[in-house]
């Protein structure tokens, strides 16, 4: 047995990770076993036809420290102007566009080239000690014996989006192969406490265990996927799958109050996290007081500055030139902090306003040998498409590309769009101290930021850090969870800040974390989701 801890939003997935450790696996084995179960028991938050970003750290004798970035890529058939005349509005938080007939949001043309399964295989090959078959076993069991629908899963299925976004149930009803899995015989959705069985997905996972991951990209599975895509007018084709490659990168490093911060590179959201920390280091946040009006206003301005920079200057560095040296420089942070101190309010432009959608999940793991993983993976807005007989749903990430030509996130063949995913590790004296990440669309960076501030500036343990009331700013409005007092909101309004109160007590990303101290590990699972942190017995 290997001692360790796993933290994620799904208890079944956490348990699978801990069982991988109990079989002698390491933190990477645990992370992949956990993630594969996530694809079964939270099948619209993530999947093997999804995308993500994974940070892996091992002591020097365990092959070092790297990111495997597996972002979805626009298929080769995509063009910059294909949807330029279809725009209805941009979402208020910048998480995508609503187009006429929802052509980018649901169906075969919404699918980008997926990287999740390839990344899982590469992580196991480089760092793992268990076989692909072994880590797939728990996921297969949940496919074949079924999983009990949790409140958060049911809540997602029944959510009706505002301002023109499709009701989520449409992603389960429109495609015949999807309906067969997710609707009961009377045409209704499964309810909390009911058991959903997906034998087609289980059979696909058995094929992957026997045929290998290459089957999905160049083998028999790839050919079946290609045939379905061709028959339904998809952008995705065999050539996209066969040419897909993940990116192995060194972490993007920063510093905050003497701690070293390791996060992901663009098109991931780590640059935003470091930019905000650089700005906020110029303020005594502890003196301001946690979640006081002054604190919220200060952090909100840093959030707005980073959001504007993301919208206008950050994208896939293979396609756009990003001024990284400037954005992360001490001079730039000093200039932006001075603006905040002068009382200047940053404006966040939006091209019309609409709804947002955030379908993602996260996992953190650590083991007794010092290996650590922080990984965020997703389907974006799930496409609603399932190939008959294969059981898994494809991502729908084309909806987040900017359909306007000439922008940093405009569509281009092979391009990845910006994602706020930012699986992060904080180092203290050259050793991992905090593993953190979150699902939540453009709210991810804001949740990760507040989790880091809560640990470093306010000495919170992991559970308190992810449970503390959060706020979020991705436009000119400060969004507040319902546990932030009304009197604090009133003073923010007096300071000239428009606010919007959520009816949820927990919200704005689902932050998960593990803190590593001299006394051991403490984990924190966001109380707004269904998950937990669990250590080996």
Catalytic residue ranges: 360
Measured CA to CA, the distance from residue 471 to residue 117 in angstroms comes to: 34
Which of 10, 167, 75 minimizes the C-alpha distance to 395? 75
| DSSP secondary structure letter of residue 187 | S
Measured CA to CA, the distance from residue 516 to residue 523 in angstroms comes to: 9
Find the helix packing angle between 199-211 and 220-231, rounded to 10°: 130
Contact 278, 285 (CB under 8 A): no
The 3-state DSSP class for residue 149 equals coil
Q: How far is CA 273 from the centre of its chain?
A: 14
Which of 196, 197, 192, 137 minimizes the C-alpha distance to 530? 192
Helix, strand, coil % in the chain, rounded to nearest 5: 40, 20, 45
Measured CA to CA, the distance from residue 284 to residue 300 in angstroms comes to: 15
What are the two backbone dihedrals, phi and then psi, of residue 218, each rounded to the nearest 5 degrees? -135, -5
Q: How far is CA 377 from the centre of its chain?
A: 5
The 3-state DSSP class for residue 365 equals strand
Q: Is the dihedral of CA 335, 336, 341, 344 positive or negative?
A: positive
Measured CA to CA, the distance from residue 165 to residue 399 in angstroms comes to: 11
Q: What is the largest CA-CA distance in the chain?
A: 63
| Number of residues written out for the chain | 537
The 3-state DSSP class for residue 442 equals helix
Beta bridge partners of 426: 261, 434
Contact 276, 445 (CB under 8 A): yes
Q: How far is CA 96 from CA 17, 160, 400, 441, in A?
A: 33, 17, 4, 10
Measured CA to CA, the distance from residue 536 to residue 18 in angstroms comes to: 6
Rg (CA), the chain: 22
Among the residues of 183-292, which ranges form H helices? Answer: 199-211, 214-217, 220-231, 238-243, 270-280, 285-288
Contact 469, 458 (CB under 8 A): no
What are the two backbone dihedrals, phi and then psi, of residue 440, each rounded to the nearest 5 degrees? 140, 25
Contact 523, 513 (CB under 8 A): yes
Parallel, antiparallel or unpaired: strands 360-367 and 4-8: antiparallel
């Amino acid at each position: 047995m290997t001692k360790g801890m796993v933290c994620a939003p799904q208890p079944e997935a956490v348990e699978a990770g801990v069982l991988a450790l109990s079989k002698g696996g390491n933190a990477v084995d645990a992370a992949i076993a956990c993630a594969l179960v996530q694809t079964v028991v939270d099948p619209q938050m993530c999947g093997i036809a999804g995308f993500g970003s994974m940070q892996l750290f091992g002591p020097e004798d365990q092959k070092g420290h790297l990111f495997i970035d597996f972002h979805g890529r626009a298929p080769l058939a995509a063009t910059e102007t294909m949807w330029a005349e279809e725009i209805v509005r941009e979402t208020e938080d910048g998480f995508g566009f609503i187009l006429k007939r929802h052509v980018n949001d649901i169906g075969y043309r919404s699918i980008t080239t997926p990287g999740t399964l390839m990344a899982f295989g590469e992580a196991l090959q480089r760092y793992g000690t268990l076989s692909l078959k072994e880590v797939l076993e728990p996921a297969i069991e949940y496919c074949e014996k079924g999983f009990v629908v949790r409140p958060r899963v049911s809540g997602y299925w029944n959510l009706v989006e505002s301002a023109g976004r499709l009701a989520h149930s449409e992603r389960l009803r429109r495609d015949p192969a999807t309906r067969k899995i997710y609707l009961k015989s009377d045409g209704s959705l499964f309810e909390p406490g009911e058991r959903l069985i997906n034998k087609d997905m289980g059979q696909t996972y058995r094929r992957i265990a026997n045929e290998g991951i290459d089957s999905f990209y160049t083998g028999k599975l790839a050919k079946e996927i290609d045939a379905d895509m061709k028959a339904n007018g998809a952008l995705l084709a065999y050539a996209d799958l066969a040419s897909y490659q993940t990116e192995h990168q060194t972490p993007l490093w920063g510093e905050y109050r003497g701690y070293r911060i390791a996060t992901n590179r663009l098109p991931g959201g780590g640059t935003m996290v470091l930019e905000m920390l650089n700005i906020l280091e110029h303020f005594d946040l502890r003196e301001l007081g946690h979640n006081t009006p002054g604190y919220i206003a200060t952090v909100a301005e840093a959030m707005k500055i980073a959001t504007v920079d993301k919208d206008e200057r950050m994208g896939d560095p293979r396609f756009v030139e990003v001024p990284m040296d400037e954005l992360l420089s001490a001079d730039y942070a000093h200039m932006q902090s001075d603006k905040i101190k002068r009382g200047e309010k940053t404006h966040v432009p939006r091209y019309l306003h609409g709804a947002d959608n955030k379908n993602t999940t996260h996992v953190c793991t650590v083991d007794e040998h010092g290996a650590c993983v922080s990984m965020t993976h997703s389907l974006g807005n799930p496409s609603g498409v399932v190939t008959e007989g294969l059981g898994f749903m494809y991502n729908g990430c084309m909806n987040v590309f900017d359909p306007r030509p000439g922008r940093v996130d405009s569509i281009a063949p092979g391009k990845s769009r910006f994602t706020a995913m930012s699986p992060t590790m904080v180092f203290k004296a050259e050793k991992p101290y905090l593993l953190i990440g979150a699902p939540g669309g453009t709210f991810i960076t804001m949740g990760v930021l507040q989790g880091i501030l809560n640990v470093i500036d306010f000495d919170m343990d992991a559970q308190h850090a992810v449970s503390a009331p959060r706020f979020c700013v991705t436009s000119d409005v400060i969004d507040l969870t319902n546990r932030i007092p009304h009197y604090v909101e009133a003073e923010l309004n007096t300071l000239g800040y428009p606010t919007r109160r959520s009816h949820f007590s927990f919200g704005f990303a689902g932050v998960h974390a593990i803190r590593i101290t001299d006394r051991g590990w403490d984990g924190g699972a966001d109380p707004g989701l269904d998950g937990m942190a669990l250590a080996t017995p």
